[in-house]
Chains A and B, each alone.
Chain A
Amino acid sequence: MQKRNSYLTPLLLLITLFCTTPIFAQKRYTISGTVRDAATGETLIGATVKLQGTSGQTAAATNAYGFYSLTGNEGEYEFTVTYTGYTTTTQKVTLDKSIKLNIELQSGSELKEVTINATDRKNENVRSPQMGLDKINMKDLDNIPVIFGEKDVLKTIQLLPGVKSGGEGNTGFFVRGGAADQNLILLDEATVYNSSHLLGFFSTFNADAVKDVGLYKGGMPAQYGGRLSSVLDVKMQDGNNKEFGAEGGIGLIASRLKVEGPIVKNKGSFMISARRTYIDFLLKASPDSATRGNTLNFYDINAKVNYKFDDKNTLFVSGYFGQDNIGIKNLFDNDWGNTTATIRLNHVFNSRLFSNTSLIYNKYSYSIKLLDEDNNADVTSLIRDFNFKEDLQYFSDKHTLRFGLQATHHRIAPSDITTSGSSSFNDLSIENRYGVELATYLSDEWKVTDKLSFLYGLRFSGFSLLGPGTFNTYNADGEVASEATYKSGEFAKSYFNIEPRFSASYSLDDENSIKASYNRNTQNIHILTNANSSSPTDQYVMSSNNIKPELADQVAFGYFKNAANNAYEFSGEVYYKWLQNQIEYKNGAQLIANANVESELIYGSGRAYGFELYAKKTKGRLTGWLSYTLSRTERKFDQLNSGNYFPARQDRTHDLALVGIYNLSKRWTFAANYVYSTGNAVTYPAGKYNIGGLTTYYYTDRNASRMPYTGRLDISATLKGKETKKFKSSWSFGLYNALNRQNPYAINFRDKKDDATRTEAVQISLFGVIPSVTWNFKF
């Protein structure tokens, strides 16, 4: 250990230089430790820790592993730890030496109170320099009504300001004018490339296994990078390290089961959570033999173990595996899924320096099997990453420094087709593509004064496309202009970018603050898609000699206010975002199994701006929020719309979500949400003509028309069963689209059925009212 510390000395010297440490100071000592849930031993992320005494006061939040570190002058203090939904603890501490203090908080629900979130809420949202961050309270998820009664992280974030849904019942989302592939979706630090099941109706995140969800819409801290528009950071639960338990739910479409418990009490635990849909079990029961042969299901498994060797070293191993299967007997099979694995080591070098080292693997792959003998083909595709991250946090008096290094190796196998016998198709293998991303970053959260704080940093990112392979460049007509061949490991093309990140907050008083932020993000992995929702056959491409890294610059300003002892939170934010090197594909592009797919692309720019309002009530019988977004999202391509800006498909002028959760009694909770949004920007025909005997439509301005608006009310009721010490259960009843409104999914144009000399527009709607019931249990 001594040796490692000496190795760190130069680094620490550097940090000391970087910080403006007062030299006149009295003796100063540090209190550090971990904050956990008293019942389960789960670490608590973002809990507020505060030292208050005659010789000063200081406060901070626990990091992603529940670790905190506070430094103060020698003296007597009151040490307070608060966390939403938990009972605040306060104790006296004497700082006459650096001390270690681990804290366990009692969950509010343990107190059997009627009102949730009864404990004092911190005003972190007002004081923190972080902007554009939304946290989801996982407890709210139990009550918010969703389609089929399957609680879902991604559908809940769509109810937040600045986040737009990918479509009805869909888990795809757009953040502040970004595209669906511009969200960095992380599960225990591993990138999840395709976050949807069943063509988007479910997300890959099983809410049972999720501990914490943070969505960064802007002002991303420097440790995040690689996507333009948002970071969705999902952290899995560690598992109860005190006692064994199980919980689960039985629903109409899917069932879930989670088991957790200690490996060694208070030192290590495991958690394994699985769920599976059983629509196809119903199909199997069908009297119709044709239906019986079809498959339609998904399942996923989250698993995690952790072990605390000592107070300084903790190891976490976590993984996710999910798979979708859709098939029609004797016709085709389509499977797709993600796999992730993360190994992490937390090491506390000393009371001020916290390190996390991660080794990460993630893969997304799909396969399509055509089963007709004369047309048989097996098409596979995958994208796979190996990732190394080293992240260090240094807690100083007024500064929290964060710095580290990230290295990722990508492999994309675009398409491999194998056939047999008399197939119409040929075997085909499109060259794999390899790439390396390297990033290093440094950021500092600096409390300049009691009122003013900064969070600023730099991220330096590099991307290299590697051989082996033949790399073509294309002219404007999409024909090969030049060709270059590289050997394994040779650099075919490299890009370097500096990404500044900056945000500041100024507290007007305890309950009011203003904030501003600027950030630049870059992106080197791109999805070629024109559909709103993610499709299992999405094609991934890396930056190359043809494709430049996408760039986004965003500025945002906001006003934050809490009222009535933080029972109400208000915020208003405005943002403007510039996007460069955006990608679209040409009309009629052939994306699948095309070695020259880059010849089908065009490049342009974009801009997005908007105003977001958020009002939240966090205490009392009635809780919930109102979110409203007024925004505009546009793209510009020389080859489209005469080179003029046009609305992106997800451009919706107004987006409104109203969420209310009402605790009627100890047993009954009612919830409702209402969403309203302007229709998508779509291209309607302006005229028509006849080609080949068929009515053909003439299009002028791109996305110049609007689909009708979407409005939907969902309601739910949760009934808690009789609780015993050992067993808890609840029933959830839901009505999705309770008003049975026909919301637009697509608009088709066709000749009138009864009068072929006329055309008509037909609105397709997916879901009417859908009831659901789920039984949840825990013991």
Chain B
Amino acid sequence: MLNKIYTLLLLATGSLLLASCEKVIDVDIKTPPNQLVIEGNITDQLDLQTIKITQSVPYTDSNVYPPVQNADVSVTTNDGVVLHFKESTPGNYTFGPYKGIPGKTYTLRVVIETAIYTASSTMPAPVRADSLSIVNLKFGSSLRKIVAVHYQDPETTTNQYRFIMKVNNTLTRRVYADNDRLTNGNNVKEQLFYGSDDDNEELDTNDEVEVEMQCIDNDIFKYWYTLSQQTQNGPGGGVTPGNPPSNINNNSLGYFSAHTTQTKTITVQ
């Protein structure tokens, strides 16, 4: 939250003082070999649980990511139950319907030819999103509408959250992650700052906004938080970007997250 203040500050200065302009440029980038990307989620909803395995592509290619087929994918619970995932479509490995249980630790094991990748994640206890609301912010002469999530943070545990926002069924290009370092035990109004930067459209009256609230473990928080910082551009290009810390070993990109999930919707007024 406090980290967003600086963004606010820049927005304020920007809207009042600076008239920045942008242009598309050619960049010279060397092409690395494709990397393995594993994106695995176990949720507390009775549903098909999915582990997605793809490859990265060079920056200059189109956004089509080759699926990795014929991997041996399994998830083991801390009480020894092994879930064998099946490749339902190329690169998508599914199991279920299955419902993850808060408090349990899940260990992912992916075998691709001779290489083995593992990761584990503990599903936190769920924290309920109470409601969504719309906040009106005035930046300079422009009015911005922002969605806020209201929830009661539990006092006795450390909690980490991730929010995913869809506007009119389109995923927004912002990563939201927060923890209760500064808000422990409070009734929290979490504002999901959002604007026309990051290639997003501004919120308008009658837009349908859907917010998914996830309770995530600390490793996964670090992952999303690092990503969220890189989408903010401070002076001189902001934070030096790097790959977010993955909880999967063996140099795989991506993450394996056991989390709870809940979805709320609101119509912008």
* Contacts known (A330-B138, A424-B188); A687 close to B56, Cβ less than 8 A: yes
Q: Which of A200, A749, A764 lies in contact with B22, CB distance below 8 A?
A: A764
Q: Which of B27, B135, B235 lies in contact with A199, CB distance below 8 A?
A: B235
B16 engages A705 (CB within 8 Å): no
Contact digits for B1-41, partner A, Cβ 8 Å, 1 yes 0 no: 11101101110110011111111111111111011010100
Contact digits for A364-381, partner B, Cβ 8 Å, 1 yes 0 no: 000010101011010100
Identity of the chain A residue whose Cβ is nearest the Cβ of B21 in the assembled complex: A765
Give the distance in Å from the alpha carbon of A417 to the alpha carbon of B182 in the complex: 9
Give the distance in Å from the alpha carbon of A368 to the alpha carbon of B181 in the complex: 18
Count chain A residues whose beta carbon lies closer than 8 angstroms to a beta carbon of B. Answer: 101
B17 engages A279 (CB within 8 Å): yes
Give the total number of A-B pairs whose CB atoms are below 8 A apart: 267
Q: A14 at the A/B interface (Cβ < 8 Å)? A: no
Give the distance in Å from the alpha carbon of A288 to the alpha carbon of B140 in the complex: 9
Give the distance in Å from the alpha carbon of A530 to the alpha carbon of B234 in the complex: 10
The interface residues of chain A lying within 8 Å CB-to-CB of B137 are 328, 331
A753 engages B199 (CB within 8 Å): yes
The interface residues of chain B lying within 8 Å CB-to-CB of A377 are 2
Q: What's the nearest-Cβ distance from chain B to residue A166, in Å?
A: 7
A699 engages B30 (CB within 8 Å): no
Contact digits for A681-712, partner B, Cβ 8 Å, 1 yes 0 no: 01111111111111111111011110110000
Give the distance in Å from the alpha carbon of A112 to the alpha carbon of B236 in the complex: 45
Q: A423 at the A/B interface (Cβ < 8 Å)? A: yes
What is the interface of chain A mostly: helix, strand, loop, or mixed?
A: loop
List the one stretch of B71-79, B98-106, B241-249 in contact with chain A. B241-249
Identity of the chain B residue whose Cβ is nearest the Cβ of A760 in the assembled complex: B24
The interface residues of chain B lying within 8 Å CB-to-CB of A684 are 27, 29, 59
10 pairs of A and B residues whose beta carbons are closest in the complex: A532-B236, A588-B226, A689-B56, A746-B237, A374-B189, A290-B138, A687-B56, A424-B188, A533-B235, A689-B37
Identity of the chain B residue whose Cβ is nearest the Cβ of A758 in the assembled complex: B62
Identity of the chain A residue whose Cβ is nearest the Cβ of B138 in the assembled complex: A290
| A-B CB contact pairs (8 Å), 12 listed | A328-B138, A424-B189, A531-B239, A587-B245, A590-B181, A592-B3, A593-B181, A686-B29, A690-B63, A696-B227, A750-B173, A765-B21
B186 engages A425 (CB within 8 Å): yes
Q: What's the nearest-Cβ distance from chain B to residue A751, in Å?
A: 6
A684-B29, A692-B164, A746-B236 known; 14 other A-B pairs, CB under 8 Å?
A200-B235, A291-B16, A531-B238, A588-B229, A592-B3, A594-B181, A690-B37, A697-B59, A704-B30, A748-B233, A753-B199, A761-B24, A763-B23, A768-B21
The interface residues of chain B lying within 8 Å CB-to-CB of A680 are 236-237
B138 engages A691 (CB within 8 Å): no
Give the distance in Å from the alpha carbon of A685 to the alpha carbon of B241 in the complex: 9
Count chain B residues whose beta carbon lies closer than 8 angstroms to a beta carbon of A. Answer: 89
Q: What's the nearest-Cβ distance from chain B to residue A203, in Å?
A: 15
B32 engages A700 (CB within 8 Å): yes
Q: A426 at the A/B interface (Cβ < 8 Å)? A: yes
* Contacts known (A198-B13, A530-B240, A588-B245); A762 close to B29, Cβ less than 8 A: no
Q: Which of A166, A296, A332 lies in contact with B8, CB distance below 8 A?
A: A332
Q: A294 at the A/B interface (Cβ < 8 Å)? A: yes
Q: B265 at the A/B interface (Cβ < 8 Å)? A: no
Q: B46 at the A/B interface (Cβ < 8 Å)? A: no
Q: A420 at the A/B interface (Cβ < 8 Å)? A: no
Chain A residues 731-779 with CB under 8 Å of chain B are: 742, 745-751, 753, 756-768
Identity of the chain A residue whose Cβ is nearest the Cβ of B171 in the assembled complex: A693
Q: A470 at the A/B interface (Cβ < 8 Å)? A: no
The interface residues of chain B lying within 8 Å CB-to-CB of A293 are 138
Q: A170 at the A/B interface (Cβ < 8 Å)? A: yes
Q: What's the nearest-Cβ distance from chain B to residue A323, in Å?
A: 16
A686 engages B240 (CB within 8 Å): no
The interface residues of chain B lying within 8 Å CB-to-CB of A588 are 222, 225-226, 229, 244-245
The interface residues of chain A lying within 8 Å CB-to-CB of B233 are 746, 748, 764
The interface residues of chain A lying within 8 Å CB-to-CB of B10 are 199
B225 engages A751 (CB within 8 Å): no
Q: What's the nearest-Cβ distance from chain B to residue A529, in Å?
A: 10
A751 engages B199 (CB within 8 Å): yes
B12 engages A296 (CB within 8 Å): yes
Chain B residues 145-196 with CB under 8 Å of chain A are: 148, 164, 171, 173, 175, 181-191
A764 engages B138 (CB within 8 Å): no
Q: B205 at the A/B interface (Cβ < 8 Å)? A: no
Q: Which of B5, B222, B226 has the most CB of A within 10 A?
A: B5
B237 engages A747 (CB within 8 Å): yes
Give the distance in Å from the alpha carbon of A424 to the alpha carbon of B150 in the complex: 10
B222 engages A649 (CB within 8 Å): no
Q: B143 at the A/B interface (Cβ < 8 Å)? A: yes
